[in-house]
Amino acid sequence: MSKQSYKVCFCFRRRFRLTVSEAPQTIKKLFEQYSENGIMNADHFLSFLVEEQKEDKVTKEDAQTIIENALRELRHLPIFHRKVFNLEAFFKYLFSDSNPPLSTSPGVHHDMTAPLSHYYIYTGHNSYLTGNQLSSDCSDVPIIHALQRGVRVIELDIWPNSTKDNVEVLHGRTLTTPVELIKCFRSIKEHAFVASEYPVVITLEDHLTPDLQAKVAEMVTQTFGDILFTPGSDCLNEFPSPESLKRRIIISTKPPKEYLESKEIKDNRSESQKEKPVGDEEAWGREVEDPKGRVKNDLDEEDSNDYEEDLDDGDLKSQHVEPPEYKGLIAIHAGKPKGGLEECLKVDPNKVRRLSMSEQQLEKAAETHGKEIVRFTQRNILRVYPKGTRVDSSNYNPMIGWMHGAQMVAFNMQGYGRSLWLMHGMFKANGGCGYVKKPEFLLKTGPHNEVFDPKAKLPVKTTLKVSIYMGEGWYYDFKHTHFDAYSPPDFYARVGIAGVPADTDMKKTRTLEDNWAPSWNEEFQFPLTVPELALLRIEVHEYDMSEKDDFGGQTCLPVSELKKGIRAVSLSSRKGDQYNSVKLLMRFDFV
């Protein structure tokens, strides 16, 4: 090896040497405050847990157990005593998985005995797609992944197969390759309650003839058997509770028509609804006409079905044909009443139903009928789905749905991005069971029959104070040349709130150069008018002068469930998978 090449190699190794992360000055001062002669025993640690971490129910025995468990995890450290903390052990404990930002011990802790309409429900859109909305494969694999994450609403678009004698799942009028419906049903049954024992709703976008609907009814009853919730053919007058529906499967779709169109009209309509030619991607999202000549801009099947439902009975020569087995399996009836928005949002005291709107329809409706939407969602279920032009399986801001009480904010679970990070964050609440009780202000009616007004300007209820001390773990979870080929990374953090418009904010730390364990030691404050709906957004990026900044991790946490005090916050990948080692040391408080 030449002298010159030796120098280059030596320089490369020197610059990538990991600086051992040591406790920030704040942590050192806390240790001094709660220790004697460099030792923190159970009494000292108990005082720290009560006064700094606000763990008011912890006992001395609990404190001792935490110390001993932590030291067992840190057995590689040169610790001279296995029943007390020194500074290094105390710091490592604070930065460990044993000190998470959300409480894990209560598990499910919301009241689960209210009607389904009182909960936000973890909801998927086109749950069978592996990728984009136009040409990806249809499979049961993304359904399994969604259920393993805790998703509780699975959407299947069901169509006749090419020989019209069986049922397939695919995104209609696109190039997506189908998967057999029975395969999806079997996978749902196998994985439905792996992550949560609370009910799974299957929403069906039904494009079938009555004989195939009867075939689906047979598949459903044979596959799910006793775990299927079947209230009968009549509409429910109130939804059951998640508690009463534990480990049950629920079917939701539009009830089948009680008539068949005459052959003449059916043939005419089928001509206008033939599948688009292979490769005709331009058809997606362009204006098409329905049988009455009205213009539709969105080719989502839900919209398409709603237009069909709006047709007056008088437009069709009908004969009474009804597959009773199929209709009797539908527990949550879907559909849009004839008429305008006012009719859609009318609350029937004698029955409940599910209404679907695209993200665009909701935004438009919210401008003029925000309070009516809130009133509707107190008893009924509102499902919001992505607009049809999101062919890349991207998503939208879920907050507009949640702040109006929408229970089923349906997302493309394979469409990674910031919107989906918010969805992941929302459903970390309530033990990750997939059901989160809506805030009381969205459920109650005032003395004069008034409801929450999403447009009202509200006073600040509380202020969240966030301190971000430092981060570490990238050295172990990333290749050492991932961020920069020749030097350690230049990290900065972004911290903010996703919530109602008045609360939404994002702030940024300074960038620290050449450091695998950046120590920012910065504090931010976020005034909150609706803390019940606020999500804490945290991202880390690596500054790149010449290109787009590199991604270094993210997480999203429900503010309502944040634990006060100093906490170790694990970060995840773009896809939402938690890294093995990457964590931030942060502090949370409400003032």
Count CB-CB contacts under 10 A for residue 507. Answer: 15
- Give the 3-state secondary structure of residue 358: strand
What residues form DSSP beta bridges with 462? 528
Catalytic residue check, 448: no
Distances 198 to 112, 116, 122, 192, 194 between C-alpha atoms, Å: 9, 11, 11, 9, 10
Contact 534, 498 (CB under 8 A): yes
Radius of gyration of the chain (CA): 27
Alpha-carbon torsion, ordered 214, 217, 223, 227, to 10 deg? -170
Catalytic residue check, 171: yes
Tokens of 302: 């839900």
Q: Which of 374, 396, 265 is nearest to 318 (CA)?
A: 265
Task: Estimate the crossing angle of helix 210-224 against helix 181-191, to 10 degrees.
Answer: 30
Measured over all CA atoms, what is the biggest interatomic distance in the chain, rounded to whole angstroms? 93
Q: Which of 270, 243, 357, 265 is nearest to 313 (CA)?
A: 265
Q: Where are the beta strands (DSSP E) in 135-289?
A: 153-160, 167-169, 179-180, 200-206, 249-253, 260-261, 288-289
Task: Tally helices (H) and strands (E) across the chain.
Answer: 16, 24
Counting Cα atoms < 13 Å in the Cβ hemisphere of 25 gives: 3
Catalytic residue among 44, 125, 404, 541, which? 125
CA 318, distance to chain mean position in Å, is 43
Catalytic residue among 171, 404, 424, 541, which? 171
Tokens of 232: 């009968």
Contact 497, 503 (CB under 8 A): yes
Torsion-angle region of 338 (φ positive above 0: left; ψ -120 to 50: alpha; else: beta): beta
Tokens of 355: 């209404």
Catalytic center residues: 125, 171
